[in-house]
Structure 1
Amino acid sequence: MNHDDPVGRRVYGAAHDDPHPGPRPGRTYRELLGGPLDGLLLDVTDRMPEELFTGAQLIVPLGRYEPGGRADYGPREDDPFGPWIWGGDTP
């Protein structure tokens, strides 16, 4: 899988039985790096502008706090439009 090309990549939140779990045309994504969601794409199309700079706590199926825990992901200060980096898990 080529990390520079989102085709063939899975989008966070896509159902496991979704025949097309990858990115859709006209949507904006951030790659998630590190932690339990490493390599997934997060659809940020409908997020408020300030949310793109603060990141998100995303529900994870497996992680330090078992199913239902959250993983904290956000942009790097020096690259706010690049991938979101894992900052740790929370209950």
Structure 2
Amino acid sequence: MDDEALLRGRVYGADHDDPGPGPQPGHDYRELCGGPLDGLLLEGTGWSEKELAGGAALLTEIGRYGPGGRARYKPRQGDPRRFDWAGDTP
């Protein structure tokens, strides 16, 4: 991955060997802050306001509960474009 791609971030769920793991034009993203998925982008394209307000529980192999566990993220108060880590769950 080149320096410009690193600056744009990698999208959660993109394959590690994907030649274009960064954000795509016309899509809506949230930055994941803290926890095991820190720095990744979550695509929110097509999510309703209610769904976005509820945050996300994202599968991860590197959280407290290992493979099959989830990292929970909630919108940051005052900055809903960022989702803050709220803990891990089995």
The normalised TM-score by structure 2 is: 0.87
Q: Which residue of 1 aligns with 2:54?
A: 54
Q: CA RMSD in A?
A: 1.8
The list of structure 1 runs, each at least 4 consecutive aligned residues, that deviate by more than 6 angstroms after superposition, is: none
1:14-56 CA distances to partner (integer Å, 9 max, x unpaired)? 0111100000000000000000000000000121220111101
Contact 1:7/1:22 (CA < 8 Å) preserved in 2? no
Query: Could you tell me how far apart the structure 2 residues matched to 1:19 and 1:35 are?
Result: 25
Q: Which residue of 1 aligns with 2:20?
A: 20
SS for the counterpart of 1:23 is coil
| Residue identity (%) | 59
1:70 aligns with 2:70: yes
Q: Which residue of 2 aligns with 1:86?
A: 85
Q: Return the structure number with greater helix share.
A: 2
Query: Could you tell me how far apart the structure 1 residues matched to 2:15 and 2:79 are?
Result: 30
Question: Relative to 1, partners in 2 of residues 1:29 and 1:48: Cα closer, same or farther, differing over 3 Å?
Answer: same
- Any gaps of 5 or more consecutive residues in structure 2? none
What displacement does 1:7 show?
A: 5.0
- Any gaps of 5 or more consecutive residues in structure 1? none
SS for the counterpart of 1:36 is coil
The normalised TM-score by structure 1 is: 0.87
> Paired residues, what number?
87
Give the letter for the 1:16 counterpart.
Answer: H
1:66-91 CA distances to partner (integer Å, 9 max, x unpaired)? 111000001023333x2000000000
